[in-house]
Amino acid sequence: MNFPVKKLKFFAFYAVISICTLLSLGAEDKFSPQKIVCLSPSGAEILCALDSFDKIKARTDYCDYPEKLKSLPSVGGFDGKTLSIETILSYSPDFVYGSQGMHDFFKKPLENLGIKVFLSNAANGISQTKQEILYIANLLEKQNEGKKIIEHIEQQINSVPKSAPIKTVYYEVWAEPFMTAGKSSFINELLKAAGYKNVFASIKESYPMVSEESIIASQPQIIILPDANGIKPQDIKMRRGWNKIPAVKNNSIFTINADLISRPGPRIGEAVVELSKLAN
């Protein structure tokens, strides 16, 4: 029987994740979370996509999609400054789902109390996001659901036209100071998958500060703005010197749902598709 190469790659990818899950938990440990405190917005999306909403006992203020998450109690903000171990413990969790770099300081104290902790590194890329989805699916004994999510993501990404001319893009993470997506960022990987060439992809840093002069000099054909920043296309047109940029001359300035493009979860395929539509 001949299997398509893509299918073989997927099954190999899934097998590796399954083995890694067993090794990380220990072969004798058949732990499956029942009471989860989720500190990660993308993690909350993954849990819901895996049909495990009922296991989430508390969330952060930013775990707000899908809408039903808002019905759950909140332990505070996402950045950790408004979070406390005492508040987390008040929900008697057996599993805490957080993010690397943001919730590292919770890991050891919680584990010392016998609570399992998982810190997401999915923001490192599309591959890491898919790995995390399968890891959590295995943990929750939702393997079939996990495979279906990955297959759907890959179908969406593969649906993006590959024959269209590649356009250069400037993605504005923040203004004053100007911040963009660099080579190692999750957003840069989404832009590439959507068929764009990021004008600042040569900068290794994930989210570097850049000068206004360098943005104008890069001459992007498209400018993309996250809607959460409150910057509108007309605001870009009012900036001094930006009228020399092709994207401004041709009215190719677009906004996109900030959560969709910044959360490494089950909607990454949708993010790639929505990005690709901007150029067409």
Higher pLDDT, 22 or 243: 243
Structure confidence at residue 262 as a pLDDT band (50, 70, 90): very high
Predicted confidence at residue 82, as pLDDT, reads 74
Q: Which amino acid, residue 75?
A: V
Predicted confidence at residue 22, as pLDDT, reads 41
- Residues 115-130: what's their mean pLDDT? 93
- Per-residue pLDDT tens over the stretch 68-94: 999 999 999 877 667 899 999 999 999
What count of Cα atoms within 13 Å lies in the side-chain half-sphere of residue 253? 20
C-alpha separations of 214 from 171, 200, 242 in Å: 13, 9, 11
Predicted confidence at residue 17, as pLDDT, reads 47
Cβ contact 41:62 at 8 Å: yes
Predicted confidence at residue 31, as pLDDT, reads 86
Predicted confidence at residue 93, as pLDDT, reads 98
Structural domains of the chain, with CATH: 5-157 (3.40.50.1980), 167-278 (3.40.50.1980)
Would the pLDDT of 239 be above 50?
A: yes
Predicted confidence at residue 11, as pLDDT, reads 45
* Phi-psi sector, 125: left (phi>0), alpha (psi -120 to 50), beta: left
Strand partners, 167: 196
- Residues 140-144: what's their mean pLDDT? 97
Which H or E element spans position 224?
A: strand 222-226
Structure confidence at residue 5 as a pLDDT band (50, 70, 90): very low
Predicted confidence at residue 80, as pLDDT, reads 66
Cβ contact 190:221 at 8 Å: no
Would the pLDDT of 66 be above 80?
A: yes
What angle (nearest 5°) sits at the alpha carbon of residue 70, between those of residues 68 and 71? 75
- Per-residue pLDDT tens over the stretch 197-232: 999 999 999 999 999 999 999 999 999 999 998 999
**Residue keyed to tokens 């495990």:** 52
Would the pLDDT of 14 be above 50?
A: no
Q: Distance between alpha carbon 208 and the CA centroid of its chain, in Å?
A: 18
Predicted confidence at residue 8, as pLDDT, reads 46
- Per-residue pLDDT tens over the stretch 39-59: 999 999 999 999 999 999 999
Predicted confidence at residue 2, as pLDDT, reads 45
- Per-residue pLDDT tens over the stretch 23-34: 444 444 578 999
Predicted confidence at residue 156, as pLDDT, reads 98
- Residues 128-137: what's their mean pLDDT? 97
- Residues 252-264: what's their mean pLDDT? 96
Higher pLDDT, 121 or 253: 253
C-alpha separations of 217 from 1, 76, 97, 205, 230 in Å: 55, 42, 42, 20, 24
Question: Which residue, among 146, 132, 126, 148, has the nearest Cα to 24 in the 3D structure?
Answer: 132
Higher pLDDT, 9 or 110: 110
Distance CA 245, CA 217 (A): 8
The strands making up 56-58's β-sheet, listed across from edge to edge, are 56-58, 36-38, 95-99, 116-120
Beta strand 179-180 with 167-174 is antiparallel
Mean of the per-residue pLDDT values of the chain: 90
What count of Cα atoms within 13 Å lies in the side-chain half-sphere of residue 1? 3
Would the pLDDT of 166 be above 60?
A: yes
Distance CA 117, CA 108 (A): 9
Predicted confidence at residue 162, as pLDDT, reads 83
Predicted confidence at residue 29, as pLDDT, reads 58
